[in-house]
Structure 1
Amino acid sequence: MDNEKFDKEFEKLWNETSHSHSNEEKETSWEEFRAKTFTQKKRSLRPWHYCSAAAVLLFVLIGTGIYFNGESSAENVVLAETVIENTTSTIKNIVLPDGSKVELSPNSKIKFGQNFASNRKIEIDGQAYFKVKKDKQHPFQVFCDETTTTVLGTSFTVKESENEEITVELFEGSVEMSVKGKDQKWILKPGDKFTYGNEIASVTEFSRFVDFDDEKLSVISQYIEENYGYKVTIPKENLNQKITIRINKKEDLKTIVQLISEMYNLNFEINEDLKQINFQ
C-alpha cells in the first residue's frame, strides 16, 4: 500500500473512532495528528513504520477503551467495566465507589465503570437491593433490560425474573422510571411497585413492612436468618418471650438487633466473618 493510500485509510479510521465530534473537529484533529506523526518523518519512514504506528493507535483506542474528546475531563474517559457476581447461596453485601450500598442476591451480578463515582450508572442481571448515597450532581441510574431507574438518594429493589419481567419496589425516597422506546415517565413514591413485562408497564402498591404480632423471639431470629443470612443465638430463657413489632423489610440489620437488645435487656455480639449474632 503506497503512502498516500495509507494516509487515506488511516484518516478514515481516525474519523470512525472519533464519532462524537463534528466534521470540522475531526478534520482539524486529523491534520494536527498527521502533521506531528507522519509529515515530519515522511522521508525517513518505511511502510512498516506506518503499520507499527497504526497498531499502536489501535491498541490505545481498543485496548484501553479511551476515546478522544477535545477536553481532558475525567468524566469524558470511558474506562473498563467492573463486574461483581454473587455465586454463593447467601446475599452479598457490596459498597460501591460512591459509598452507596448493594445487597446482591444469589445468582445475580452488577456491572459498572471504574469512573463510577462521577458517572453513577450500573447494570444489573438478577436481583439486588440498593441504598443510594445522595449526590445531586451525579444521578444514580440502574439499567435492567429495557428499564432505567433514576434516583438521587433512596432505597429500592430491582429484580428481573426468568420470564424477563422487571419489578422495582421503592422503600424510601423517590425514583423516576423510564422504558426504552417509550416517552412516558413513572414517578414512584415509597410503597409503590413498578412492573414491566410484555411491553406493558404498571404501578401498584406493595407492603414495605413485616408485622410480628405477639410472636416468640425465636420467630424473629428465624426471620433474620432467612432475610439477612446471619445465624442468631438467643438464650434459652428468652426464646419463648413474646414480641409485637413492625419492621421495614429492608431495615438495617444492626437496627433490628439493637432494638431487640434494648427491649429485652440483652447484650449482643455480631461476628461478620462467621455471619453470626449472639445475644446474651
Structure 2
Amino acid sequence: MDMEKKAIKDLLNKYAEGKCSEAEKALLESWYLGYNEDPVNISPRQLQEAGEKIFRKLPGGSNNKINRGTLLAAAAVVMLVISLIVQLIFHKNEPTAALKPQDIPPGGNKAILTLAGGKKIDLADAATGGLAVQPGIRILKNGSGQVVYQPVDDRKGGDQAGYNTISTPAGGIWNICLEDGTKVWLNNSSSLTYPASFRNKRERNVTLEGEAYFEVAKDKKHPFTVKSGGQEIKVLGTHFNVRAYKDEQVIRTTLLEGQVKISTADHSSSNILIPGEQALFTGHTFRLADASMEQVMAWKNGYFRFDNTPVEQVMRELARWYDIEVRYEGPVSAEKLNGRISRSKNISKVLTALEATKIVRFKVEGRRVTVMR
C-alpha cells in the first residue's frame, strides 16, 4: 500500500507541474470534478461507479471487460486519491471564493515603511510613484508594488540617510529593492531594518526578524551581512532564505545559490553553506542538514507545503497568514501533516483539507480557531 500511495503522490505532483499524460490528467480531474463537493462521504455505489470511470479512462480500458478484481483495484485507487487529493490538490491557484459566514480571507500585500525620522508610510495605501526623499536617496513604489531605493546625485552622500525599517503584519507580504540592487521578499509578521543607502559603508548590514528571501547584489568589496536572532550571515552575492521567527526555537538559513558564511553573533562558531544545505541554529550551536527547496520556498511561491510537519507548526503558519488566534482543546495529536495547499484560499478551504486527514478537527469562532482531536 505504501508504494501505491507514493505512486499517487507522484501522480499528483506531475499534475501540479503540468507533466501528466492525457490519461493521467483525465483520471485525476474526473475524480476531482465528480466528488469535489463531498470527497470523504462516498457510498459503495458511488465508489463502484468511480472505479469504472477510472478504469475506462486508462489506456485500453474501454476495450476490456471489467472483472471484479480490476474494479476493486480501481476502487482502491479512488480511495487513495480521496485521502491524498484533499491534502495536495488545493495547490491550484483558483480565485478566492466568496466569503462564507465565519470565513477568513488570505493575506496579501501589506506593509509599513518606517523612515529614519520616524515617519510611517502604509505601502498598501500609498500611490505608485515617489514615497519619500532622503539624503542621496529617492524612495519609489513602482507599478508592481515593489519599493525601490534609487541613488541621486547628492554631495552629502547617502551616509546621512539613516536606517529605515519595512515591516509586514500578520497576513502581509512585501518586496523591496535596496539601494545596492539587492532584492528582498519579506514574509508575513516580519521586519527588515537596513541603511537607506550603503554609500560610504564598508559593509552592507541589515537586521531581520521573521522570514525573508534574499537575492543579494554582488559586490566583493562590500560584504552583505544579515543579523537575525543571535546569528550572522555574511555573503558577497547570493540567494538564500532566512526563517527567524521569535516563536520558533530554531532559526533556519537555507542556501539556494552561491556561498554563505554563517556564524554566531560572537563569532565563536561558524559554518560555510553550499547550495541545497540548511543551517539550523538553536541559539548556541549550528546543525547542517539537506534542505527541501520546495518546502523552503513554498511561501514565496504562494502555497503552504507540509512535509511531516507537527500540528503546532502548521497552526503557527496559518495564524501568521490569516491573522487568527489559535487555541487547543485537549492534547495535540503527535501525528504529522503532509500536503500542499494554496495560500490564496480562504481559511475554510484549508481547514477542510486538514480535517480530511482525520488527524485534527477545528471550531471557528470569528478569528479564533480551536484545534481539537
Sort the TM-score into its range (normalised by shorter chain).
0.3 to 0.5
TM-score, length-normalised on structure 2? Answer: 0.35
Ranked by relative contact order (alpha carbons within 8 Å, sequence separation 6 or more), the top structure is 2
Q: Which has the larger radius of gyration?
A: 1
TM-score, length-normalised on structure 1? Answer: 0.46
